Chains A and B, each alone.
Chain A
Amino acid sequence: MQSENCPNCGAEVIFRSPALPARICDYCHSTVKRIADGVELAGEVAVLPFDVSPIQIGTRGEYGGKHFDVIGRIRLAYDQGAWNDWLCLFSDMTHGWLSESDGQFQMVIERPLKEIRSKLIRGLAKGKKARIGDRTQIDGSEFVVADARMATCVAAEGELPFAPSTGWEVFNVDLRDADGFSANFELEEDEDPAFYMGHYVTLAELNPKNLRAIHGWKMPDYAA
């Protein structure tokens, strides 16, 4: 854990994950980037639009036998909607993304692209397009493209593996198989493509604690 002061407003900013280079200041929404001898300012992101997500920074849970803390979030929007990608710091200091879209959750963990023997994914990495319904074999299971679209980062908070700026664009492809496994391909301008794999989950399965209390709604028993 590293504690610094925001170069913009002076508020304390805490880096919980040693591996992450950036954090959004909770007070002034500045992006604070770690450098060799401290931190520097790397722009400002927009305030998150109001939503009723049950997750918040500080939500804890379990996945794959490991405990995790939610430490960051980016919000991505496209012409027909928006979703949240929550950054989870696992007890062994590895990271996962809890993707939240239309009330459905998937936990995905990055996999080196070179490990993946899939023509479709290799094609995507080379800049080819995928269409909804396209199929491919990954790790011996058949995945189908459920979603493929350009999205824009509209807001972010907390700790992040990059220094986001509002308006940053990403091409995102979601795949799923018959058993609830999900895979995720992301391509950003001037960045290496990234590939994630994981599983669709329900909130209850994550055994969550410190969910956000939403006015008028009873906290579910599994989170109490």
Chain B
Amino acid sequence: MPPEDDRPNPWGEPAPEAAAGPTAERIVVPSESDSAPAAEQFNCPNCGGTVEIKAAGYSVSIACQYCGSTLDVSNPDVSIIQRYEGEVRKLELPLGSRGMMRGTEWEVIGYQRRSENGQYPWDEYLLFNPYEGYAFLDTDGRGWSLGRQLTAAPEKKTLVGFEVDGEFYEPFYAQTRAQVDYVLGEFYWRVKVGDEALTADFVRPGKMLSWERTRNETVWTLSELLEPHEITDAFGIDPPKGGGLPLPHQPSPYRQKAGQFMKLAVAVAVALLVITFLFGGTSDPQTTRINLATNGVEQTAKVGPIVLDRPRQAVTVSAQAPGIENSWIDLTYTLTNRDTGEIFEANNVVERYSGRDAEGNWSEGSSYSTSKFSMIPAGTYELNVFAAGSRWTQSQFGSSSNAQVDVTIEKGATFYSNLFLALLVVFAPALWQWFKHLSFESRRKSDSDFAGGDDD
């Protein structure tokens, strides 16, 4: 379930009292210049190691980088909150590392390893700059995100999503419990191993909105996915290895391409249609009517002459026999060049059948047909038409004994099949990119608690 809203629902036991034990005193590390000192220092009351407080005045707890014990620095005297038994981990981003990210210099001052009951662990680094406040740097090995805590309470939109700065975030991970498995460095809240919080996440491409509730407060954080090189440029570490499913807020790498290809395809399609319309039309029709009996006897007729003045030109011949019923007319056309005698031949048919069966009236065929001659050389041509009509005698329904066919010859032709093929070729890359986008989105969302249902 996503959080209904951010009303408090206190849970868990109150924090245990700080363990009594040795304490240490803090001293300000003097600055050798005019500027104010930047850090405080104390000796860890557990191991004696020298620990520095970088965000003095804000930091409340510190996990000693030598012994891992968490210490309370909210009072002038440093006391132990929790002793740590075990080896101190070596961090991918060591505490004290500094890096420029998106125009701001950040120092790594804290580190938490968090998980859901030991499952799906992730690393969370706390960054500090005295002029900018805090930021979070999160990774689960697939990529790094830079997050800032929000000062505004996000607005709930629809049943499940939230809006920040007019941008909508859809639910991705439902409310679950996250725990702290390991901690090092300093924090502005009291942190220790075993601390739990309720979390839920909402995403839009490139960004994640995270909700977190503890006993004391509700916090919203907005993180942006960093480009792999940004983390490398800032801290000189290897870019994330990647692999596996896309991150919840990873933008689809195909979406933009699909959009660009689609725009290009639409532009080309429009151009093709314009060209087809401008240059593909027909002109100068001449028609001859042939009357024939549907007894199989061939009749001939002439249409033309027609003068083709372009070096290579298409010619359209159409036949129309509106009256025929349960009959067909076989048509043979010969287009003959008067000067050279060159002959172009084509065959076609007009046929129409109809009847009635158990399912009702039916009809098929058409009383119209078109033949196209392409690339006919310039010249004066005449068309000879050989027409033979036949009738369907087995039918209990009437068939025409006579037929009338109008044969028309026109200059030019529109080759719709070519246009269709061209459009298919033009749109194929866009459709392919869109298909890849959809399959990326479905892989990205497969990890969501709200997976299934709509794509995009």
Interface members, chain A 98-155 (any B CB < 8 Å): 102-104, 106, 131-135, 144, 146-147
Minimum CB distance partner of A203 in chain B: B131
Judge whether A180 and B152 touch: CB under 8 Å. yes
Beyond A132-B216, A203-B131, is A218–B56 a contact (Cβ under 8 Å)?
A: no
B129 contacts across to A, CB distance below 8 A = 217
Whether B38 is near chain A, meaning CB under 8 Å from some CB there, is yes
Minimum CB distance partner of B135 in chain A: A103
Contact of A212 among B8, B36, B149 (CB under 8 A): B36
A216 contacts across to B, CB distance below 8 A = 35, 38
- Tell me whether chain A's interface is mostly helix, strand or loop, or mixed: loop
Judge whether B60 and A133 touch: CB under 8 Å. no
Mask: chain B, 19-47; 1 = CB below 8 Å from A; 0 = not: 00000001010011111111110000000
B188 contacts across to A, CB distance below 8 A = 81, 102-103
Beyond A102-B133, A103-B132, A178-B152, is A215–B216 a contact (Cβ under 8 Å)?
A: no
A203 contacts across to B, CB distance below 8 A = 131-132
In the bound complex, how far is the Cα of B57 from the Cα of A81, in angstroms?
A: 8
A190 contacts across to B, CB distance below 8 A = none
Min CB distance A171 to B, Å, is 16
Judge whether A146 and B155 touch: CB under 8 Å. no
A103 contacts across to B, CB distance below 8 A = 55, 58, 128, 130, 132-134, 188
Contact of A80 among B105, B133, B216 (CB under 8 A): B216
Interface members, chain A 3-60 (any B CB < 8 Å): 49-54
Whether A184 is near chain B, meaning CB under 8 Å from some CB there, is no
Judge whether B189 and A81 touch: CB under 8 Å. yes
B149 contacts across to A, CB distance below 8 A = 102, 104
Judge whether A133 and B57 touch: CB under 8 Å. no
Contact of A134 among B7, B33, B39 (CB under 8 A): B7
Min CB distance A129 to B, Å, is 12
Beyond A80-B60, A81-B189, A178-B154, is A213–B34 a contact (Cβ under 8 Å)?
A: yes
Judge whether A82 and B217 touch: CB under 8 Å. no
Interface members, chain A 44-87 (any B CB < 8 Å): 49-54, 77, 79-82, 84
In the bound complex, how far is the Cα of B219 from the Cα of A104, in angstroms?
A: 13
Whether A1 is near chain B, meaning CB under 8 Å from some CB there, is no
Contact-size category for A: 35 or more
Whether A223 is near chain B, meaning CB under 8 Å from some CB there, is yes
Judge whether B37 and A215 touch: CB under 8 Å. yes
Beyond A102-B133, A132-B216, A133-B218, is A214–B58 a contact (Cβ under 8 Å)?
A: no
Beyond A53-B130, A54-B131, A223-B131, is A79–B74 a contact (Cβ under 8 Å)?
A: yes
A220 contacts across to B, CB distance below 8 A = 131-132
Whether B190 is near chain A, meaning CB under 8 Å from some CB there, is yes
In the bound complex, how far is the Cα of B451 from the Cα of A92, in angstroms?
A: 57
A49 contacts across to B, CB distance below 8 A = 56-57, 76
Mask: chain B, 407-418; 1 = CB below 8 Å from A; 0 = not: 000000000000
Judge whether A178 and B218 touch: CB under 8 Å. no
Judge whether A214 and B130 touch: CB under 8 Å. yes
Beyond A52-B36, A180-B151, is A146–B218 a contact (Cβ under 8 Å)?
A: yes
B40 contacts across to A, CB distance below 8 A = 50
In the bound complex, how far is the Cα of B341 from the Cα of A54, in angstroms?
A: 98
Judge whether B153 and A178 touch: CB under 8 Å. yes
B151 contacts across to A, CB distance below 8 A = 104, 106, 176, 180, 182, 200
Whether B6 is near chain A, meaning CB under 8 Å from some CB there, is yes
Whether A191 is near chain B, meaning CB under 8 Å from some CB there, is no
Whether A177 is near chain B, meaning CB under 8 Å from some CB there, is yes
Judge whether B35 and A177 touch: CB under 8 Å. no
B38 contacts across to A, CB distance below 8 A = 52, 214-217
Instruction: Give 22 pairs: A residue, B residue, CB < 8 Å, sorted on A.
Output: A50-B26, A50-B28, A50-B37, A52-B38, A103-B134, A104-B151, A131-B8, A132-B218, A133-B7, A146-B217, A176-B151, A176-B153, A177-B153, A178-B154, A178-B155, A180-B152, A214-B35, A215-B32, A215-B38, A217-B105, A218-B105, A223-B131
B-side residues, CB < 8 A to A, are 5-8, 26, 28, 31-40, 54-58, 60, 74, 76, 105, 128-134, 149, 151-155, 163, 188-190, 216-218
